[in-house]
Amino acid sequence: MTSSDLRERFEASLMPNYGVPPIALTLGRGCEVYDADGRQYLDLIAGIAVSSLGHGHPALVKAVAHQAATLAHTSNLFVHEREVQLAERLIGLLGGDAKVFFTNSGTEANEAALKLVKRAAGPGRHYFVAAERGFHGRSSGSLALTGKDSIREPFGPFGMDVRFVPHGDLEALTEAVDEHCVAVFLEPTQGEAGVVPAPEGYLAGVRALCDRTGAAFVLDEIQSGIGRTGEWFAHQGEAVRPDVLTLAKGLGGGLPIGACVGFGRFADAFHKGDHGSTFGGNPVACAAALAVIETIETEGLLAHTKVMGDLLAEQIEGIDHPLLAGQRGSGLWRALRLTAPHAAHVQEQAAVRGFLINAVSPDTLRIAPPLVITPEQIGVFIEALPTVLDAAEAAATKEQ
Ligand SMILES: Cc1ncc(COP(=O)(O)O)c(C=O)c1O
């Protein structure tokens, strides 16, 4: 089956919401993936910040295979050890005083957070605040909180009062949040907007504002969590703790799992029967997440992520090219900033040369490789980047 055969069948049988993706992948090994035509690529996007251990990591394979063979599913009518172990492990990494609800995806983690903060809110609280250009998922509650008008507006109204403020602007947030606010939903760095960090001190300012007004502080670390920035969680770099934390993506290393973590009074805010999910906390997904956390620890991947991230940033900054404006981000979560809106061409020309990167906005490409990437692999990409940029410029000129 060739890529083009598969793409044709995809188009005929799958809904058109993703368009037809240009490449059909069949195999992954470490940081490399292969397409249906046998072409090899360096995977610099990791399934959008998901495959943190790369592809086919023996620890993940073993944990998943063992759990699938032992007990693949229980539902939540029964306790199983993996979910308890994983919750305990996360609470340990977060510093205690917390409880966890497991989901299957990021958007479900945010839906759980939404219900949790509504349950915990006192009387008179009726609106939410979130950031312009923020992204929290595609299901209705998460979408209502998503600050990208083009993807939210066609599906409203949502029956929720959500007020949007500019990302990273503490003054605007302070104006927007008072004692009638249920919760503030934010990402520490906006991933889908193009890896855009908030200014230093912003999270601490949000924490103080929420303490003052009694609004809950929900931090969406679905993209930034589980080592992506070189910390277990991005907020730990700023020594700030939210009231509710949501996780997914890198947590399962490729298996679908998300988590909503409530701290302090939010740990026990749900009453029995308030929420549930048939597959949430599934034993196989929990076994995968335990293997991810264990491997990040045993292989020293937090420190490695910091070192590799700095190397990547430094080497990108060292390239002098008219299409390249620079980079931003932290750890192995970076944006290549362009001087012109040619990101789609850059993505395409990178793929032609065997590199998978993601055009996240017209003038920005996202790089979020497996955390196990090596300096040699970064070097190969950096060496090819000027040629990729030349080819993208040429393609853009031809198109005009
Ligand atoms: C910050 C953030 N929140 C939520 C989501 C939604 O996660 P999922 O696609 O698993 O529903 C994403 C996905 O990109 C995300 O980046």
Q: Mean per-residue pLDDT for 49-62?
A: 98
- Tell me whether residue 220 is annotated as binding: yes
- Percent of the chain scored above 70 by pLDDT? 100
Q: Which residue has the tokens 């008072």?
A: 178
Residue 239 reports pLDDT greater than 90: no
Closest ligand 1 atom to residue 139 Cα is 11
Selecting among 249, 263, 266, 270, the annotated active-site residue is 249
Selecting among 101, 102, 128, 135, the annotated active-site residue is 135
**Which residue's CA is the nearest one to ligand 1's atom 8?**
106
- Tell me whether residue 383 is annotated as binding: no
Give the pocket of ligand 1 (CB within 6 Å). 48, 105-107, 110, 135-137, 187, 191-192, 220, 222-223, 248
- Tell me whether residue 103 is annotated as binding: no
Q: Mean per-residue pLDDT for 12-39?
A: 98
pLDDT the model gives residue 96: 86
The torsion of the CA quartet 40, 257, 96, 167, rounded to 10 degrees, works out to 70
For a ligand 1 pocket test, name from 107, 246, 366 the mutation site with the most ligand atoms within 8 angstroms of its C-beta: 107
CB 164 within 8 A of CB 146: no
For a ligand 1 pocket test, name from 18, 45, 111, 135 the mutation site with the most ligand atoms within 8 angstroms of its C-beta: 135
Per-residue pLDDT band for 400 (boundaries 50, 70, 90) equals confident
pLDDT the model gives residue 199: 96
pTM of the model: 0.98
Q: Mean per-residue pLDDT for 235-239?
A: 91
Residue 363 reports pLDDT greater than 90: yes
Calpha distance 41→353 (Å, rounded): 8
- Tell me whether residue 190 is annotated as binding: no
**Which residue's CA is the nearest one to ligand 1's atom 10?**
106
CB 129 within 8 A of CB 178: no
Catalytic status, residue 43:
no
Closest ligand 1 atom to residue 258 Cα is 10
What are the domain boundaries of the chain?
3-56+300-399, 59-298
Residue 242 reports pLDDT greater than 90: yes
Calpha distance 242→224 (Å, rounded): 14
Per-residue pLDDT band for 51 (boundaries 50, 70, 90) equals very high
Asked whether the CA dihedral 84, 89, 94, 97 is positive or negative, the reply is positive
Q: Mean per-residue pLDDT for 307-329?
A: 98
Q: Mean per-residue pLDDT for 28-37?
A: 98
The CATH label, of 3.40.50.300, 3.60.20.10, 3.40.50.800, 3.90.1150.10, for the domain at 3-56+300-399 is 3.90.1150.10
Distance 68 CA to ligand 1 centre (A): 26
- Percent of the chain scored above 90 by pLDDT? 98
Q: Which residue has the tokens 């009387």?
A: 123
The CATH label, of 3.20.20.70, 3.40.50.2300, 3.40.50.300, 3.40.640.10, for the domain at 59-298 is 3.40.640.10
Selecting among 35, 43, 220, 363, the annotated active-site residue is 220
Distance 124 CA to ligand 1 centre (A): 30
Q: Which amino acid is at 124?
A: G
Residue 149 reports pLDDT greater than 90: yes
Distance 258 CA to ligand 1 centre (A): 10
Closest ligand 1 atom to residue 192 Cα is 16
Question: How far, in whole angstroms, is CA 291 from its chain's centroid?
Answer: 19
Residue range 285-296, pLDDT digits in tens: 999 999 999 999
Distance 105 CA to ligand 1 centre (A): 8
Q: Mean per-residue pLDDT for 368-388?
A: 98
Distance 70 CA to ligand 1 centre (A): 30
- For 63-67, 93-97, 267-271, 381-385, which range has the lowest pLDDT when averaged over its residues? 93-97
pLDDT the model gives residue 270: 98
Q: Which position has the higher pLDDT, 40 or 399?
A: 40
Closest ligand 1 atom to residue 224 Cα is 1
**Which residue's CA is the nearest one to ligand 1's atom 4?**
136
pLDDT the model gives residue 282: 98
How would you write the chain as a 3-class SS string?
CCHHHHHHHHHHHCCHHHCCCCCCEEEEEECEEEECCCCEEEECCHHHHCCCCCECCHHHHHHHHHHHHHCCCCCCCCCCHHHHHHHHHHHHHHCCCEEEEEECCHHHHHHHHHHHHHHHCCCCCCEEEEECCCCCCCCHHHHHCCCCHHHHHHHCCCCCEEEEECCCCHHHHHHHCCCCEEEEEECCEECCCCCEECCCCHHHHHHHHHHHHCCEEEEECCCCCCCCCCCCCHHHHHCCCCCEEEECHHHCECECCEEEEEEHHHCCCCCCCCCCCCCCCCHHHHHHHHHHHHHHHHCCHHHHHHHHHHHHHHHHHCCCCCCEEEEEEECCEEEEEECCCCHHHHHHHHHHCCEECEEEECCEEEECCCCCCCHHHHHHHHHHHHHHHHHHHHHHHHHC
Distance 222 CA to ligand 1 centre (A): 6
